[in-house]
Structure 1
Amino acid sequence: MNVTYTFEKLLAAFVDPKIRGVALKGGTRSGKTWAVLQLFHILCTNSEKPLIISCVAATLPMVKRGMQRDFKTMLVTECVWDENAFNKSEGTYTYPNGCMIEFFSVDNSSKVHGPARDILFVNEAQGIPREIFRQLDIRTRKKVVIDFNPVRKFWGETEFVGDRYVTIRSTYKDNPYLTKEQVGAIEKNRDDANWWRVYGEGETGGVEGNVYPTYEVIEDMPETYTGRCLGLDFGFVNDPTAIVDIRFHGWDLYVDLLCYETGLLNSHIADYLTGNMLNKLITVCDNAEQKSIVELQQRRIKAIPCVKGKGSVAGGIAQVKQFKLHVTKRSVKLLDELDNYKWIKDESTDTYTNEAIDAWNHALDALRYGVDYLIRRYRPK
C-alpha cells in the first residue's frame, strides 16, 4: 500500500496513547482523507477486538461521492474489496473479525444522537456545526480525527488544542503520487493570494468579510474585572433567546454564553436568572421589547433597555471591536455566530459594505447591548 507523508504524520500521532484527537489541516491534494481511510483499513484488518468506526460528512452526497467512493477505490486498488462485506443501504463495511466502518451524514439527527463508537472521523469538518461535532465527540470512546481545508477559522482551530490534541498541517508537497499535471494545476494559482494560502500552503485563510475576525477561546471567565453585566436578546419561536455574561478589564472583554434557547417565556427567563443568582446583575435588553422588560422587572430582574441610535448596529459593533475579545470554550453557539457573522458584500463592486447580515447575531446582539452599557457606565468621560 503506497502511503503519503501525510499518512506517516497521522500514524505517529494516532498511535500515541496520550492523544485523544488529531486534526488534519491541509491544502488541496495533500492526501488527508485518503490517509485516514488507509489507517482505518489497516487498523480494522489487524485489530484483535471488534471496532466501530464512524466516518461522517455534512451531507449524504458528500459521503457517497467522497469518503465512501475513496474507500472502495482504495480497497479495489489493493485487490481486497469484498462486495459482500458492504451493506449499501446501511453504508457499512464489515471485516471478518467484526470490525465495522460506517459512513453517514450528519443531516440525519438520529445518527448524531445515536449509539456510541470507538473511533470518529469527521470529513471536511469546516462544513459541520460545532454542536453537531460535540454530540458526536461525546459518544466516541477512543479517538477522534477530523480533516479540513482551512478556508476560514472555525471550531476545528480551537477544539483541537491542548496536550491531548494534535494538529497536522499538510500540503500537496506531502503527496509524492501527484502527477506533474496535477502539481502544475495547483501551482498556477499562486497569484491568487488567499486561495494559495488555503489550498496551496494549507494555512488558515483570511477571515474575509467576518465582522469579528479575531477572538481568543478561554476556559473560564475571570474573577477580577472592572465592570460586569448581562446582555439579553429576546427570541421565541424561530429565534433563540440569548443571554450573555459580559465582563471587561482594561481593554480585554470576556464573554460567556449562558442561554441560547427557543420557546422561552419571560417567566422562564426570570426563573433562570433568579435560579442562577444572576437577578442582581444589570440585564441590558433589546429596547424594542418594552413589554418584556417590564415583565422581567416585575419579577425583580434588574432589566433595562439598551440604548439605540442611528447606525446602532454598526456603532455597537465598533464599540465591541475596541476590545480584545475572549470567549469561553463552552459558548458553542456564540463561537458559531462569530465564525459566520459577516458584512454584506456589494456584488457589483466585489467589496464589503458597513452593514452586517441579519443572521448569526442573536448572542452577538446581546453582546452589543451589554458592551454599550458597560462603556457608558464605567468608562471615564
Structure 2
Amino acid sequence: MKLQVTKVFGKLKNLYDSGKYRQLVLYGSSRSSKSWSILQLFVSLLLSKNHFRITVWRNEGTVCRSTVMTDFRNILLKDVFLYNSFIENKSRGEFVCKATGSIIQFQGADSIGKVLGLAQDISFFNEVTEFKKDVYLQITQRTAETVFCDYNPSKNFWLEDYRKAKNTIFSQSTYKDNAFCPVEIVNQLESYNPWEDGTFDVVDDIIYYKGSVVTDTYQPPPNVENVRSGTANKFMFQVYSLGIKAEKPNKIYHGWKTIPDDFFDKLPYISYYGLDFGLSRPNALIELKYDGERSIYVRELLYVPSNMFEDTLGNLIDRKYPHIKESQALLICDSAKKAVVDGLAQEGFMAVPTIKGAGSLEEGISFIQKLQVAYTNGSRNLEMEYDLYSWQLDKYGESTDIPVGKDDHLCDSIRYVMAYLKGYLDIRIG
C-alpha cells in the first residue's frame, strides 16, 4: 500500500494511536490536507480492522457523496492494490473492504431517520460548522469509538465548548503543512495577505506585530504588491491562509461583549422574553434585561425547531422555564404568527406580538447597533448568530443594506423585544 502523506497525517495518526482521545478535531487553512489525511487514516483502519464501521457525515447526503466520497475514491485510485481491495456500492454510498468486511459509508444529516438509525465505530463530521449541536449529539451517542471533525475556523460555534475537555484535542494546520499543495493554490492563498511578509507572528490563533496584538488601528506595514493588485483581503487571509478565526467584513453587529451567567442573574433589571418561531428552523427564546439607558443584557434560553420535539411549544417553555408564566413576564413574539401568539396567551403566558411595520427590520437593526450589548457565556447559538448574521453582498462584493435571511433567529428575538420596548417606553438613542 502506497500513500503519499503530509505532516498532518503523521500527527493525526499519532494522536489516534495514542488512544487518549475520544474526539479529534482538525482545523486550519484551506488545502492543509485535513480531510484528505483523515480519509487516508480511514483506509488503513478499514484494511486492518475486521467488521469495523465508519460513517462520514455532511449536512446533506448529496454533498457528502459529491465531495468527501469522491476524495475517498481518488485516494484508492492512486494505488491499484488499494482500489482492488474495496467494493464500491454507489447506490448505498459505501465502500466495503474485501479482506476485513469493514465498511465506510457517506451520509447526510438531512434525513433524521438516518441520524437516529445508524450506529458506527467512528464518525467523521466533515465541515462540522454546518451541523446543529443536537444532531451532532444524536450521532456521537451512537458512535462506539472515535469522533473526527474538521473545519475552516471562520466563526465561533458550539464545538469550541469542547476545547477544555480532556478527551478532545484540537489540532491546527495550514497549507504550509501540505508539501503537495499545488503552487497555483499556494500563490492564491498568499495573495490574500494584506501585510508585509515576515512582519507579524501568529501565536495561539492571535496575530502579533512587534509584540502587540494586531487591531483595526494597529497593524503591520501593508503588502504593497497584494494591495496594488487588489487581492489583499484580511478576512480571507486569516481564515483560509492562516487558518484562524476572523470577523466577517459584512457582519451586521459589532462590539458585543460576553458576561458570566451569575453576573446576568444579579443584574437588578426587569426580565423580558423574546420568541422567534420555527418549524424546521429553530424556535429561539431569549431573556433580555434593559438598564433603561443604552445597555442590554441577553441570555439564550431555547434554540430548537418544532419538528425536533413532540410537545407543544408552550408546554416545552413552561416545563423548562416555569417562572415565565408564573411571574407573568412579557413574552414578546413574532407578530407574523398571530395564531401561535394567541395560543400561547390562551395557555397562560403574557404573550404579545412585537411592533412591526414598513421598514421595521432595518429600523430595528439600526436601533440595536446603537446599543451596548452583552450576552452570557453559555449563549453559544447567539454567539454563532452574532458572528454570522450579515448584510447581503452586491455583484461587486460590497455590503448592501439588506440582511441575509438566515442565522438570525435569536437576533430577531432581541429585535422583537427592543422594538416593543422602544414603542411603549419611547426610548430615544442618538
- Normalising by the smaller structure, the TM-score range is 0.7 to 0.9
Higher relative contact order (CA 8 A, sep 6+): 1
For these two proteins, the number of residue pairs brought into alignment is: 372
Instruction: Name the residue aligned to 2:266.
Output: 224
Distance 1:24 1:337 in 2: 23
- Whether the 8 Å CA contact 2:28–2:172 is kept in 1: the answer is yes
Tell me which residue corresponds to 1:233: 276
Alpha-carbon shift at residue 54 of structure 1 (Å): 1.0
Partner of 1:201: 242
| Deviation for aligned residue 1:209 | 2.2
SS of alignment partner, residue 167 of structure 1: strand
Q: 2:118 aligns with which of 115, 119, 126?
A: 115
Residue 287 (structure 1) shift: 5.0
Q: Distance in 1 between matches of 2:67 and 2:281?
A: 34
Query: Partners in 1 of 2:307 and 2:31 — Cα distance?
Result: 45
* Structure-2 residue corresponding to 1:66: 67
Closer/same/farther in 2, CA of residues 40 and 233 from structure 1, 3 Å limit: closer
Separation (CA, whole Å) in 2 of partners of 1:65 and 1:295: 44
Shift of 1:96: 2.4
Deviates more, 1:79-88 or 1:134-143: 79-88
Matches of 1:294 and 1:134, distance apart in 2 = 34
Provide the residue aligned with 2:44 in structure 1: 42
- Counterpart position of 1:30: 32
How many Å separate the matches in 1 of 2:72 and 2:360? 52
Residue 37 of structure 1, CA deviation:
1.5
Task: Decide which of 376, 380, 393 is 1:326's aligned counterpart.
Answer: 376
Task: Read off the aligned partner of 2:176 and give its amino acid letter.
Answer: K
Residue 84 (structure 1) shift: 6.3
Q: Secondary structure at the match of 1:211?
A: coil
Give 1:254's aligned residue: 298
Change (3 A) 1:51 1:263: closer
Unaligned runs of 5+ in 1: none
- Contact conserved, 1:57 with 1:106, CA < 8 A, in 2? yes
Cross-structure match for 1:52:
53
Distance 1:344 1:176, change over 3 A: closer
**Inter-partner Cα distance in structure 1 for 2:136 and 2:123:** 10
Q: Is the 8 A contact 2:333 2:413 kept in 1?
A: yes
Change (3 A) 1:7 1:370: same
Pairwise CA distance, 1:68: 2.7
CA distance in structure 2 between the aligned counterparts of 1:260 and 1:166, rounded to whole angstroms: 28
CA positional deviation for 1:352: 1.9
Bigger CA drift: 107-116 or 152-161?
Answer: 152-161
C-alpha distance in 1 between matches for 2:158 and 2:306:
26
Tell me whether 1:351 sits opposite 2:398 in the alignment: yes
Aligned to 1:77: 78
Following the alignment from structure 1 to structure 2, what is the Cα–Cα distance between the partners of residues 43 and 70?
Answer: 17
Distance 1:100 1:263 in 2: 31
Asked whether the equivalents of residues 155 and 384 of structure 2 are also in contact (C-alpha less than 8 Å), the reply is: no
* Closer, same or farther: CA 11–220 of 1 in aligned 2, 3 Å: farther
- Give me the whole-angstrom Cα distance separating, in 2, the residues matched to 1:345 and 1:185: 22
Q: Which runs of 5+ in 2 are unaligned?
A: 194-225, 227-231
* 1:94–1:270 Cα change, 3 Å: same
Please tell me whether the aligned partners of residues 244 and 259 of structure 1 are also in contact (alpha carbons under 8 angstroms).
no
Secondary structure (helix, strand or coil) at the match of 1:161 reads: helix
- Which of 245, 262, 276 lines up with 2:287 in the alignment? 245
In 1, Cα distance between equivalents of 2:63 and 2:347: 50
Task: Tell me, in whole angstroms, the C-alpha distance in 1 between the residues paired with 2:397 and 2:69.
Answer: 37
Task: Deviation per CA, 1:26-83: give whole Å up to 9, x if none.
Answer: 2222111221112222233334x54211122344554444333333333343443254
CA distance in 1, matches of 2:313, 2:155: 33
Does the aligned pair in 2 maintain the 1:243–1:260 contact within 8 Å? no
Kindly indicate whether the alpha-carbon contact (under 8 Å) linking 1:26 and 1:169 is maintained by their aligned counterparts in 2: yes
| Aligned 1:101-250 pairs, distance under 5 A | 101-150=104-153, 152-155=154-157, 158-163=160-165, 164-178=167-181, 180=183, 183-190=186-193, 191=226, 192-193=232-233, 194-212=235-253, 223-227=265-269, 228-234=271-277, 241-247=283-289
Structure 1 residue 174 displacement after superposition: 0.4
Is the alpha carbon distance of 1:83 and 1:107 closer, same or farther for their aligned partners in structure 2, counting shifts above 3 Å? farther
Is the Cα–Cα contact under 8 Å of residues 29 and 241 in structure 2 kept in the other structure? Answer: yes
Secondary structure of the residue that 1:344 maps to in structure 2? strand
Query: In 2 relative to 1, CA 362–156 (structure 1 residues): closer, same or farther, beyond 3 Å?
Result: closer
Percent identity of paired positions between Structure 1 and Structure 2? 26
Residue identity matched to 1:208: P
Q: 1:227-266 deviations in whole A, cap 9, x for unaligned?
A: 322212356x7776543333578957332232644489xx
Alignment partners' CA distance in 1, 2:159 and 2:302? 23
RMSD: 4.0
- For residue 300 of structure 1, what is the amino acid of its counterpart? G
2:85–2:98 Cα contact (<8 Å) kept? no
CA distance in 2, matches of 1:269, 1:57: 29
CA distance in 2, matches of 1:65, 1:308: 43
CA distance in 2, matches of 1:156, 1:3: 31
Q: CA deviation at 1:125?
A: 3.1
Q: Write the distance in 1 (CA, Å) between the matches of 2:409 and 2:421.
A: 19
Query: Does structure 2 retain, via aligned residues, the 8 Å contact 1:230–1:282?
Result: yes
Structure 1: how far apart are the matches of 2:254 and 2:87? 44
Residues 1:282 and 1:142: Cα distance change in structure 2 (over 3 Å): same
Question: C-alpha separation between the residues in 1 aligned to 2:345 and 2:61?
Answer: 49
* Displacement after TM superposition at 1:204 (Å): 2.6
The residue that corresponds to 1:368 in the other structure is 415
Distance 1:110 1:270 in 2: 26
* d(CA) in 1 for partners of 2:177, 2:416: 48
